[in-house]
Structure formats: C-alpha cells, structure tokens
Amino acid sequence: MSDLTVAVFDAYGTLFDVHSAVARLADALGPEAPRISALWRQKQLEYSWTYALMQRYVDFWQLTCDALDFALASVGRQGDVMRDRLLDAYRTLDAYADVPAALDGYHRRGLRVAVFSNATPEMLDRALDAARLRDRVDEVFSVHSLRRYKPDARVYADAAKAFRVAPAAIAFHSSNAWDAAGATASGWSTRWINRAGGPAEYPSLAVPAVRDLAQAQQAFLGDEREPEIP
C-alpha cells in the first residue's frame, strides 16, 4: 500500500501489555490475580463507553482507578494495600516484545509512527518513557483534549487531521476489535492485532485480523502473501 504515510498504533493492549501490572505482583495477589486483571481491563473499557454514551467525560486515568477498585472489591479486597502498587505498575506497563521491531520497520520504510489513545497525555508520557519507546514515536494523539472516547467517529476524524493526512493514508493497528472497527468505519486502513486468537468480530465491516505487529506490517507494506487470519 504505497499511499500509506503514517503508521498509527493504539497504546493499551497493542503497544503495552495491560495485564503486565498484575503479572508483576501476582505472587502477592495470590490465586485471584488473573480475575483481578481481567475485571480491571473489562471495567476500564466499559466505563469509558458508558460515560461517553451519557456525554459525561471522565478521564482515562480516573476510569482506570475506578475499574481497579471494582476489580478488587469483586474478590473481597476493598481497600487493599496492593491498590497503590498496582496503579504504580500500570503507569509503567511492559511493551510487547514485537513492538520495537515494528516501529523501527515503519521508520525504515519512510513512514511516520504515531500513537493514538484514549489515555491521558500524562499516562502516555510515562508509559512511553518506561517502555523506552519515546525515541521511536514521532507523534502522540490523546483523545483527552476532545473529551470523548473511541470509537466515536469524530475522534478518528480529528486524529487524522492532527496527523495531517487523509484517512486512507493511515495504517492503523489495534488489539481492540471495537477500535479497529471504528477506524475502518472512518476510512482508515486497519489491521486488528488479534493477540488472543479470538473469533472474528464486526463481520459487516470486514476488519482484517492478524496475529501480531509483524504480520500487520507485512500486510500493510505490500507483501502479496496474505497473512493468515487467526
């Protein structure tokens, strides 16, 4: 796809492993650790959609804190001393192993690299620095200034304007099927990074799925071998 000029990445779940915070503290949390991590992520996203539909903006860090409180309460750990340690770990999540090579690969092919996220600028600054990705990212666009969340179509339109390109010139990567669907509906060239190998979603939009960032890059940069769909 020679008309692509910018490779855009969702942050949480795509660049950063959202479950790495709990994984670091799994021994201290005990057998409930996987449930805490799953509920934390589920409620974080659910809250963003719910507040968006109510047209009441609450920033993503506050939603992250509220979601953790729910997850801890769900396993009987209200007011747990681990709360602050978990939040500190979330500020500095691990990057997935395939991220540095993917970002470098796009730069070598002459594309700009950008991050597009529901997270606040402060969250993204800390996460990029902690994962040592800052020098590999040319631009960062947070929805925070818009006070609305993905997959609102207006967010994708404003992001494309911020990146100074037509929607079709964006190679977008997201591990969230709903985000990939929102970008596709807005005219972006999109790959769903189906890290968990889940079943197809949003079939009416025909969002292409790949297993990892390397497969996405292969598809975006014109390799005629169609990547295997998980």
- Could you give the residue numbers annotated as active site? 10
DSSP 134-158: GGG-SEEEEGGGTT--TT-HHHHHH
- 117 DSSP β-pair partners: 142
Strands 209-210 and 189-193: parallel
> What's the rounded Cα separation, in Å, for the pair 165 and 161?
6
CB-based contact 205:177 (threshold 8 Å): no
Collect all residues with Cβ–Cβ distance below 8 Å to 4 and sequence separation of at least 6: 111, 169, 170, 171, 189, 220, 221
**Where is 209: in which H helix or E strand?**
strand 209-210
